Structure 1
Amino acid sequence: MRYGIIGCGMMGQEHLRNIALQDGADVAAILEPDPDMAATAAAMVPGARMVGSIAELLAVEDVTCLLIASPNYLHLAQLEEIAAIRPLPILVEKPLFTDPADGARLAALRAAYPAPIWVAMEYRYMPPVAHLLAEAPAATGGVRMLTIREHRFPFLEKVGDWNRFNRNTGGTLVEKCCHFFDLMRLVAGCNPVRVMASGGQAVNHLAEHYDGRTPDIWDHAYVIVDFESGMRAMLELCMFAEGSRYQEEISAVGPLGKIECLVPGPGRFWPADLGEPPVPQVIVSPRTPKGPRVLQVPVDPALLAAGDHNGSTFYQHRGFLQAARGEGTIDVTLTDGWWAVAMGMAAQESARTGEAVEFHGLPYVPR
């Protein structure tokens, strides 16, 4: 499989490093309009052809699959352009779209696209999270409560500072937290019915100005989600807590017990004077007999060095390549991607209005 890459900023470069670790895959062509990022990408993959448009990328015959890692607000239009020219298997970064009015466009794409489209939800594939997902049914006896806590660093600098404004990102609860809403829905095994949230911008980016505009991206929130099954889930997000030992803490509880996972942030941000970064953990706490069991879940150092997501980008590409070759199924579909965005948008609307948002009767809700 030979990738055509659309977007080689920070996340695109992580994808390049992880594609290089895959058997039977490489990069044939790259589209990156920023000169500095393009130069970095060309140095990383010297054999790749640098192109100036999607049409030119798709004209490269060697390209057999695609990765979209461009800014959020470009994803849907780029998917539509690919569909019109040469539909190939695609791994597209989250979020799928940023405008609530785009549901009809996504539904049309989903109905007509003839090749696999896999939405990049890296958090599913972090080894400690994957372990929790696999063991949660037995450890809990059926999850009734799910809590996801992310205490992390502020948004990093991106090309053109596009990630400082809601109009470009879809908002923090879409841009950042669609990962967590995807996990909630995956654990629940069904769709949400109600979202309640409180959030805003308290600390980060308030002293920054771009063309006279102050960033409006949120930096903290609480979100509660009710699901069709009766499961309840909560997200606690704080983006001015980079001093934390663990970045993500996920807890699932049911009638038989509790299972948790603790996930450290990117190793490159861990202070060298504190020694080695913490190792991810999974903790199982049965109700009877009482006695928590702690499992260390180390991640291959080569995978840690290839990106900021605890090796998950490697495993995600491995699964995508299997689906692109016709040897596996798509883990994260366009419908999954739609729900992750819709839940984030509902949470932002709830926080803005102070009212719960229900999904019943909304247009383009896929079933």
Structure 2
Amino acid sequence: MKVAIIGLGFRMGYLGRVFAELDPTFEIVGYADPSPAGLPGLTEAGIPVGKRYETPEALIAGERFDLLMIGSPNHMHLGHIRMGLEAGLTVFTEKPIVISIAESLELARLLNTHGHDRLLVGLVLRYSPLYRDLRAAQAQGSLGDVVSIEASEHIEPYHGAFFMRDWRRYGRYTGGFMLEKCCHDLDLYNGVVGARPRFVASFGGRKSFVPQNAPEPGVNDLEIYHRKPSGWMGSDKVFDSDADIIDYQTAIIEYENGVAMTFHTNLNVPDQFRRFCVIGSKGMAEGDFVRGYLDVHSARTHEKLVDKRYSAPSEKSQHYGADEQMAADVLAFIQTGAKQPVSALDAIEAGILALAIDQARLSRTVVDLAPLWKEYDACLHGDDAGRDVPVAKQA
């Protein structure tokens, strides 16, 4: 498979290595990035990278390839997706797919024009073995009707410090931390619920990565707070960062079908976990992507129906082995058109939920998403000519 890359950062450099291990014909024919942080890793792995182009337009015009991969900063995604779709290309974009409600509606209009089958998205956890097993247990009826969900994504201090130092510290580039980091998780549980979120409330802020919590000079500073390298617009500041993102946040969501969910994220959790408990009318499923387990119990008999443990394929593997499966599935799509477990529409809807969570946090109101879903559907089906872009209603 031949690919071209817009935004050759650390993530695309890693994915290039994953694809190359699976496909001996994999080739990066060219890239557009003024400062390609992912290039050294590819070179070290012996993966040839083609010509560097000054602009994405020149790259698209100058090469022939099977897949355009977009790893640029989030606020550039919409423009780069548009270029690819308008050029008739198959496009893979990293998450989050876009960064605002207005961009979500604009992307819906684009998909109405070009279709969404040619746009793949890197919501990688949908490909994970644990999530696939959860959905299989759900399909077998082990849970019954989903009633409520408790879920979280907590990350270690070194990773939280990375967010305070990287370009991702600015909401204007990311759309906010909930969108940048937690859209994975929100997408997973949207899939489990099988309905759109309707009402959202949220609270949060920044209390850990603040000046009064800075460690004594030299105390684990390099080992912890600078372990993960930052790229574009990187900074050395952690506790005195100019970031405008949160370091903790909670949300309460009610879905259109009445399912309720609580979600909690924190960036300063030394024994990190990424777990969930899905409780249904007939049973419950409890799992953790970090700690690697899935247990399913029957509410009728208390019997443990599923008892699975998971480990990554290698020490270098990211996302609990999901990247390898995602690469295999993307390759299958290019070769045979095989169906993917997540779509561009799933990505937009998870993003809208993340953005609504932040709207609720900032406004201290309950946000009603019904008006926004109506407008989104109109954009998706070409029925929105002349309409103003709405905001979600505050209940």
Structure 1 residues 301 and 189, CA, compared in 2 at 3 Å: closer, same or farther? Answer: same
Cα displacement (A) at 1:130:
2.0
State which of 61, 75, 78 in structure 2 corresponds to 1:76.
Answer: 78
Q: What does the per-residue CA deviation read over 1:187-210, in whole Å, with 9 as the maximum and x for residues that have no partner?
A: 111211111111112212657759
CA contact (8 A) 1:3 1:25 kept: no
Given the two structures, how large is their TM-score scaled by the length of structure 2?
Answer: 0.80
Q: What does the per-residue CA deviation read over 1:231-262, in whole Å, with 9 as the maximum and x for residues that have no partner?
A: 11221111110323xx2111111111111112
Distance in 2 (CA, whole Å) between partners of 1:257 and 1:25 is: 46
Q: What does the per-residue CA deviation read over 1:209-246, in whole Å, with 9 as the maximum and x for residues that have no partner?
A: 59x971111111111111111111221111110323xx
Structure 1 residues 162 and 109, CA, compared in 2 at 3 Å: closer, same or farther? Answer: same
Indicate the residue corresponding to 1:342 in structure 2. 352
Distance in 2 (CA, whole Å) between partners of 1:42 and 1:351 is: 43
State which of 160, 165, 173 in structure 2 corresponds to 1:168.
Answer: 173
Indicate the residue corresponding to 2:383 in structure 1. none
CA contact (8 A) 1:9 1:37 kept: yes
Mean CA deviation greater in 68-77 or 133-142: 133-142
Structure 1 residues 104 and 129, CA, compared in 2 at 3 Å: closer, same or farther? Answer: closer
CA contact (8 A) 1:19 1:25 kept: no
CA contact (8 A) 1:18 1:313 kept: yes
Counterpart AA for 1:145: S
Given the two structures, how large is their TM-score scaled by the length of structure 1?
Answer: 0.86
Structure 1 residues 50 and 42, CA, compared in 2 at 3 Å: closer, same or farther? Answer: farther
**SS of residue matched to 2:106:** helix
Structure 2 residue runs of 5 or longer lacking an equivalent are 215-235, 381-395
CA contact (8 A) 1:193 1:360 kept: yes
Cα displacement (A) at 1:60:
4.6
Distance in 1 (CA, whole Å) between partners of 2:208 and 2:300 is: 43
Structure 1 residues 38 and 301, CA, compared in 2 at 3 Å: closer, same or farther? Answer: closer
CA RMSD of aligned residues (A): 2.6
CA contact (8 A) 1:150 1:249 kept: yes
Counterpart AA for 1:55: E
Structure 1 residues 46 and 347, CA, compared in 2 at 3 Å: closer, same or farther? Answer: same
1:147 aligns with 2:158: no
Counterpart AA for 2:376: V
Distance in 2 (CA, whole Å) between partners of 1:155 and 1:119 is: 24
1:122 aligns with 2:124: yes
Mean CA deviation greater in 346-355 or 37-46: 37-46
Identity %: 23
Counterpart AA for 2:92: L
Indicate the residue corresponding to 1:272 in structure 2. none
Structure 1 residues 112 and 155, CA, compared in 2 at 3 Å: closer, same or farther? Answer: farther
Counterpart AA for 2:348: W
Q: What does the per-residue CA deviation read over 1:62-106, in whole Å, with 9 as the maximum and x for residues that have no partner?
A: 41112112211111111112234x231111111111133223421
Distance in 2 (CA, whole Å) between partners of 1:205 and 1:50 is: 43
Indicate the residue corresponding to 2:100 in structure 1. 99
Distance in 2 (CA, whole Å) between partners of 1:187 and 1:250 is: 11
Mean CA deviation greater in 170-179 or 97-106: 97-106
State which of 270, 278, 288 in structure 2 corresponds to 1:262.
Answer: 288
Indicate the residue corresponding to 2:225 in structure 1. none
CA contact (8 A) 2:13 2:39 kept: no
Structure 1 residue runs of 5 or longer lacking an equivalent are 265-277
CA contact (8 A) 1:252 1:259 kept: yes
CA contact (8 A) 2:8 2:36 kept: no
CA contact (8 A) 1:119 1:333 kept: yes
Structure 1 residues 70 and 194, CA, compared in 2 at 3 Å: closer, same or farther? Answer: same
CA contact (8 A) 1:285 1:292 kept: yes
1:364 aligns with 2:392: no
CA contact (8 A) 1:123 1:129 kept: yes
